[in-house]
């Protein structure tokens, strides 16, 4: 099977997201099986929801690669746990990388569907692919999902998906559009955290 550039992005994103999930599970003192499950759910959750909404078989059911990449991520965390614990921003960086890459994967897959979905659908599917896995991860470790907190998270996905669609409409080469879109998500997340940018909190009074 010929691998496309977007396939490499998906594999790297799977590895990065799995590490982010396993890292948090380890902080919650999950056992090995529980940590693996959290990592796998983080890595494939968003794409699974996307595929179900698009009416296709979830992507990970076509290949065992995602199980394997999650296992590699798990043993990476086990082997380098002490180093990862010392690096306080480890979770943030792996989560941000996975977020950017998965937005691109989600947008690209939706755009390639025979149904020829409108760009706004492409953007939403990109956001779901990027953010929904993190929601499942946070639910499994009993945390308020990051997407519902003040941090710029889902909005970064929407921005990246919009950039992807603009590039596509302008006829930008697919690989270049994918790179620009992923980088835009990462930059938005980094800037939001560095400068404490956030949405207003909805108050009762």
**Residues 168/111, Cβ–Cβ less than 8 Å:** yes
Pair of tokens at residue 5? 């550039």
**Residues 47/102, Cβ–Cβ less than 8 Å:** yes
164's CB contacts (< 8 A; 6+ apart) are: 103, 104, 107, 108, 122, 123, 126, 177, 178, 180, 181
Q: What are phi and psi of 77, to 5 degrees?
A: -65, -40
Domain residue spans of the chain: 5-194
Pair of tokens at residue 90? 């480890």
pTM of structure: 0.90
Query: For the chain, how far is it from start to end, CA to CA, in angstroms?
Result: 58
Mean pLDDT by 10 residues, the chain (205 residues): 75 92 90 96 96 95 94 93 70 88 95 91 96 93 82 90 97 94 95 85 72
DSSP string covering 145-157, please?
-GGGSSBS-HHHH
Task: Give the model's pLDDT for residue 85.
Answer: 64
DSSP string covering 107-169, please?
HHHHHTSTT---HHHHHHHHHHHHHHHHHHHHHHTT---GGGSSBS-HHHHHHHHHHHHHHHH
Q: What are phi and psi of 151, to 5 degrees?
A: -60, 145
């Amino acid at each position: 099977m010929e691998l496309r550039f977007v396939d490499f992005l998906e594999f790297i994103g799977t590895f990065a997201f799995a590490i982010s999930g396993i890292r948090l599970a380890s902080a919650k003192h999950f056992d090995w099986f529980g940590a693996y499950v959290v990592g796998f759910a983080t890595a494939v959750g968003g794409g699974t929801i996307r595929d179900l909404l698009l009416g296709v078989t979830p992507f990970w059911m076509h290949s065992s690669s995602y199980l394997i990449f999650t296992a590699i991520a798990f043993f990476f965390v086990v082997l380098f746990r002490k180093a990862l614990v010392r690096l306080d921003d480890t979770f943030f960086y792996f989560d941000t990388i996975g977020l950017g890459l998965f937005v691109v994967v989600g947008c690209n897959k939706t755009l390639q569907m025979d149904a020829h979905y409108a760009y706004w659908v492409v953007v939403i599917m990109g956001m779901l692919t990027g953010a929904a896995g993190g929601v499942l991860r946070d639910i499994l470790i009993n945390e308020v999902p990051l997407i519902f907190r003040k941090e710029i998270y889902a909005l970064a996905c929407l921005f990246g998906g919009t950039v992807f669609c603009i590039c596509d409409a302008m006829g930008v080469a697919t690989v270049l559009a994918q790179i620009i879109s992923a980088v835009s998500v990462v930059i938005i997340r980094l800037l939001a955290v560095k400068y404490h940018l956030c949405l207003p909190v909805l108050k009762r009074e």
